[in-house]
Amino acid sequence: MSWLSLAFSAAFVWAIGNVLTKKGFEHVSPLWSNIIFNGMGLLLWVPLGLYLSHFSIHPLTWGSFAAIFLAYAAYFLYFYTLSKGELSLTGTLLSTYPVATVILSYIFLGERISSVQVGGILLVIVGSVLISLPEKGLPKVVRDYSWLRWGIISSILIGMGDFLSKYSVNEIGSYSQIFYAPIISIGLSAATYIFDKKNRQAPQIAGKLLIPSLIGLLLLSLGNIFFFVALGKGDASLVAPVSSAYPALMVLLAIIFLKEKVTKKQTVGIATTIVGIVLLGITV
C-alpha cells in the first residue's frame, strides 16, 4: 500500500473511532481512555510489530526514545481535548494540527514539497475546518471556553508529535515504532494516573455502556498503525494532512448511513478536502 492509501485508511477508521470515543466519555473518562488505549497497544501493537518486522526489531537510540516519549506525551492530550467541548468545536481546532507538522518537517527534516502539494495540503486543512465548524456560530450552551485553549495547545503539540513520530520512524522504522510505542507509553499512563486525581475512578467493566469506548479506542488504535506505516513510506508533510481529513469522512459516513442532510458549508468542505487529496494523490 502507498502512503496515500495508508493515510486515508487512518483517516477513515479515525472518523468512526472519534465519534464512538466521544460518545463513550459519558462513562469513560479521558484518563481511562488513555489507559485502555495503551493497554490495547500492548496487546495488539507489540505482537504486530514483531510479526510485521519478522522479529527483527531495531534497537532504540536515545533520539528515537526521546521522540516517541515526547510524541506520546503530546498525544495524551487528545482525549482530554475531545472531552472539553462539542466535537464540532474541539474537532475544528484539532484538524489544523498538520500545520505544525509541515513547518517542523520542513525546518528539521529537510522535507521539500511542490507547489501542487502545498495547494493540496491547504485545501485538505481548510476543508476539514469548514466541515467541523458549527453551522450557526458557537452554541449558546457553551459557557466554558477552556475547549479553545485546549484545542489550540493540543493542535500545536499533536502536530509536533507527528513530526517527532516521523523522526523516530526514520531512525528505527515503522514496525519498530509500533513495537516500542505502547511500551514507552506505560510510564506516561502511570504519570497521568498520579496527576489526574479527579478521573481515577475506574469505569464499570460490565454492561453495554463500555462498548462504544472499547470499539472507538480499538479503531483509533488501528488508525495509528496505518498512520505509522504511512510515515515510513511518505513525508510527514504529506501524511499528516491526508490523515487529518477524518472530519470530512465523519460527515460522509453520517450522510450515507444515518441519512443526515448535508449543509452547503459541509458540501464545500467535503469538495475542498477531496480536491486536496486528489492533488496530493497525483504527485505520488
For residue range 215-261, what is the model confidence (pLDDT) as tens digits? 999 999 999 999 999 999 999 989 998 888 887 777 677 667 656 67
Higher pLDDT, 155 or 165: 165
Rounded to an integer, what distance in angstroms lies between the CA atom of residue 100 and that of residue 102? 6
Which uninterrupted H or E stretch holds 282? none
pLDDT exceeds cutoff 60 at 24: yes
Rounded to an integer, what distance in angstroms lies between the CA atom of residue 248 and that of residue 153? 22
| Sign of the CA dihedral running 228, 234, 236, 241 | negative
Distances (CA, A) of 185 to 32, 111, 164, 165, 179: 14, 28, 15, 13, 11
SS3 184: helix
Q: Which residues are bridge partners to 137 per DSSP?
A: 135
Rounded to an integer, what distance in angstroms lies between the CA atom of residue 119 and that of residue 105? 17
Rounded to an integer, what distance in angstroms lies between the CA atom of residue 54 and that of residue 166? 22
Rounded to an integer, what distance in angstroms lies between the CA atom of residue 39 and that of residue 279? 38
Angle between helices 146-172 and 211-233 (to 10 degrees): 50
Cell of 270: 467535503
Q: Which has the minimum average pLDDT: 126-130, 132-136, 197-201, 223-227?
A: 132-136
The whole model's pTM is what? 0.85
| Residue pair 81/136 in contact by the 8 Å Cβ criterion | no
- Residue 223: the pLDDT is 95
Rounded to an integer, what distance in angstroms lies between the CA atom of residue 122 and that of residue 124? 6
Q: pLDDT exceeding 90 applies to what percent of the chain?
A: 42
**Residue linked to cell 502507498:** 2
Q: Which residues are bridge partners to 135 per DSSP?
A: 137
Rounded to an integer, what distance in angstroms lies between the CA atom of residue 40 and that of residue 210? 14
pLDDT exceeds cutoff 70 at 153: yes
pLDDT exceeds cutoff 90 at 154: no
| Residue pair 20/219 in contact by the 8 Å Cβ criterion | yes
pLDDT exceeds cutoff 70 at 205: no
Going by C-alpha positions, the residue among 223, 227, 245 that lies closest to residue 236 is 227
DSSP 110-155: -----HHHHHHHHHHHHHHHHHHS-BTBS-TT---THHHHHHHHHH
Predicted confidence (pLDDT) per residue in 161-204, tens digit? 999 999 999 999 999 999 999 999 998 999 989 989 888 888 76
Q: pLDDT exceeding 70 applies to what percent of the chain?
A: 84
